[in-house]
A and B are shown apart, each in its own frame.
Chain A
Amino acid sequence: MSSNSTIIGAVEIGTSKITVLVAEYHSGRELAIIGCGECPSRGVTKGTISDFRAASDCTQFAIQQAEKDANERIESVFLAQTGGHLEGFSNEASVNVKAADNMIDRDDIKTVCELAKSKELPAGRMVVHHIRRPYRVDGRLVPDQPENLVGQRLEVGYWTVHGQEQRLADTIHVIRGCNLEVGELVLSSLASGHMVTTAEERQHGVLVIDIGAGTTDFVLYRDGGPHMTGVLPVGGSHLTNDLSIGLRLTENQAEKLKLRFGRALVLAKDRTDKVWLDGNYAIGDRQFPRQAIEQVTAARTWELLEAVKKKLGHAFSPETCAAGVVLTGGTAKLPAIAECAGKVFGTPVHLGEPPSWVEERLRDPGYQTALGLLYYVISSRTGSAGAARKRGGFLRGISRLFVPS
């Protein structure tokens, strides 16, 4: 490891699995993924920590595995945040330009931004993200900084994502339990959305839906940036749960059937077409109608996507979302889910593909959040990695000499 690089860990504590990626971040915004670790998740329900010890052990195991794979020690963690407690609202503000010549200066920009971000939160809520929307000068859209432009009125809007303090603290404490510092907390949908869309798509308007096991995160991009985000506490595990109840199976058996025969649209016409539970002809192996499985998974998927559409409300319309819908996350691997989403949203839908530079073993949709976490933070700010270097400085450089093998 060179002296001017930082080892960053991207951690996604998901409902079904915990994913950790280790990246070496060089100054000059160069990022190299050097290690990967994952562990089936325990103690996490619908994206929030329900059993601290179990979640902590799993996270610790995944971190250790990733560090072993990378042969480096993580110095700072970027943590993906999801969960039903996360909510968002839009707040807009406008100011009259102060200068006599109507030229916008830094003070105007600062004032309007502070006003737009200043909405008071309910007790026990904390801001996770302030996502700025494009500025407007006298109603005219300004994609970049409006400084030195001439106009009478400056407007800006913010999408503020906030969450429950205890839930956020729980997630952070899981990482702190491993004696690692959380450098950045990023909404899962922003991370995965940044990974599977291009700048052009974001400019035209695109909706990214990340369907995980316990939650479904979505982000709507407009004018090149995030316009709205949301989290539904429903995911692939609900399909499993419905199959388990409907077909009277255990969770594990239902999960197996979902992965092998689940579909987002019903294809089977023949009611007598049956499939084996295990297919190994062992005692206890049973047959189930394929159509019934497809009906359950399709109905649930449709409901889930409808719920997303409902939550988006007027913000989404096929006209303002010219680049369509992108699906990602583990449940996006469900066959025919793109066609199903196309029917729900009335726009072209495709599955999210990571950029071509992502190596083969990390191209699975399940890794897109962790990957996007690194990509989003590094590409959008000069933040904690740089701060970590500043904090450590010379002494940190020396202490690296004493890293145990």
Chain B
Amino acid sequence: MIKPSEALPATRSWREIPQHVTPRAMSPEGRRRRWMEIVRWTAAGAALVAGAWAAWQVSGTVRSDPRSPSGESAAEPIGDRITLATDGVLDRGWLVRTLALPKKATLLTLDLAELKARVLASGQVATADLIRNFPGTLSAHVSERAPVLRVMAAAADGSARPLLVARDGVVYDGVGYDPAMLRTLPWLDGVKLLREGSGFARIDGMETAADLLSRAKFEAEPRYSTWRVVSLARFKEDGDIAVRTADGLTIIFGTREDFFRQLARLDLLLDTAAKAPAGQPAVREINLSLGSQVPVAFAAAQAEPSVRAAAPAAPAFPQLHIKITP
């Protein structure tokens, strides 16, 4: 059947006039427009190709990046896929205990800020970074504080317990240290420990004391090994740091002069004293804080050998002058 429209005569519209014009027939301005159009379209095409290439590169990078999420695996529970990178002594077990992740926790459900706060709650940790390593590993990068001194503090139940003091004055409960190493650390004396939250406030002056200790450890290790107590009792007023050795000698260091000079003087004095004839009174105190004039105090009299034997050796703990202020 023929539709009415098929039987109708076709009328031609102006739209059938071909609008194609060869460049030769164009005006100079028309040719200029044509060239600019070609340039624009070429530039647009090049931009598209460049964009596609960049997108391909980025997608390739994302696919090969272990930190990028990849669907199903990111939704799996983390389980024991927790790694720790540290510059100190903490181990993975400590990290797992500290994070205390729920069994069904996945990488995508973790609140990294909150976990980081948990890690930093330990005074031993100076800085911490937690990273989701897709497909399913949680990585922790930790930098630890190094202990400089030990300090005795009263626990909540009233018993005394040893804590560690770092160079920046942070007092913390050390985890994972070798006990033999800890036994070589002198005790801190003459400071007030102030409670702050569940721990203690930072101790002022520790930077200077740590400088002295590190200098002594590396420049005069035999002398340092006899140091048992470091007192900061006169640090604030006089800038003095008092050190008591295992054999009862008190050495006062000043902070106005380089510690190296003071250690050199100490070494000279002690060598001189060691060469003294027998029966000479023992040196009781050396004050290095006054510069080249070094007052040296001697013991009043030589005790009888029997009495000397009865005298206590270096104390396991010094007589503490630490006051705990709640």
A interface residues, Cβ below 8 angstroms from B: 56-57, 60, 63-64, 110-111, 114-115, 117-121, 125-128, 160, 163, 165, 168-169, 172-173, 176-182, 185, 395, 398-404
Contacts and interface: CB of A to CB of B under 8 A. Distances in A.
Interface string B97-126: 000000000000000000000000000000
B31 A127 contact: no
Nearest to A170: B17
A182 B15 CA distance: 9
B44 A398 contact: yes
Given A126-B16, A402-B43, A117 B21 contact: no
Contacts of B36: 404
5 contacts: A57-B27, A168-B14, A176-B21, A182-B19, A399-B41
B5 A111 contact: yes
A280 B12 CA distance: 56
B19 A176 contact: yes
A119 B9 contact: yes
A57 B26 CA distance: 11
**Residue among B16, B34, B44, B48 with the most chain A CB within 10 A?**
B44
A119 B11 CA distance: 7
Contacts of A400: 40
B179 interface: no
Contact of A399 (B30, B34, B40): B40
Contacts of B31: 179
A180 B33 contact: yes
Would you call the interface of chain B mostly helix, strand, loop, or mixed? helix
Given A56-B27, A118-B11, A402-B43, 4 more contacts: A179-B21, A395-B41, A399-B40, A399-B43
A120 B13 contact: no
A179 B37 contact: yes
Contacts of A172: 14, 17, 19
Contact of A185 (B8, B14, B44, B45): B14
Nearest to A162: B11
A185 B36 CA distance: 26
A60 B27 CA distance: 8
B25 interface: yes
A57 B16 CA distance: 25
Interface of B: 4-5, 8-9, 11-14, 16-17, 19-21, 25-27, 29-31, 33-34, 36-37, 39-41, 43-45, 47-48
Given A111-B5, A179-B30, A126 B19 contact: no
Nearest to B48: A398
Nearest to A113: B5
B4 A179 contact: no
A115 B36 CA distance: 46
A121 B33 CA distance: 37
Contact of B12 (A127, A173, A181, A398): A127
A177 B4 contact: no
A402 B39 contact: yes
Contacts of B14: 126-128, 163, 168, 172, 185
Contacts of A128: 13-14
**Residue among A56, A119, A180, A399 with the most chain B CB within 10 A?**
A399
A277 B219 CA distance: 117
A401 to B, nearest CB: 7
Given A178-B33, A182-B19, A114 B5 contact: yes
Contacts of A169: 17
A388 B33 CA distance: 17
A177 B26 contact: yes
A56 to B, nearest CB: 5
B9 A118 contact: yes
A13 B283 CA distance: 118
B218 to A, nearest CB: 65
Nearest to B19: A176
A398 B19 contact: no
B31 to A, nearest CB: 7
Contact of A60 (B8, B30, B40, B47): B30
Nearest to B43: A402
**Residue among A56, A115, A160, A402 with the most chain B CB within 10 A?**
A402
Given A176-B21, A401-B44, A126 B13 contact: yes
Contact of A117 (B11, B30, B34): B11
Given A111-B5, A118-B11, A127-B11, A395 B48 contact: yes
B273 to A, nearest CB: 87
Contact of A179 (B5, B8, B26, B47): B26
B323 to A, nearest CB: 74
A195 B190 CA distance: 99
Contact of A177 (B8, B20, B27): B27
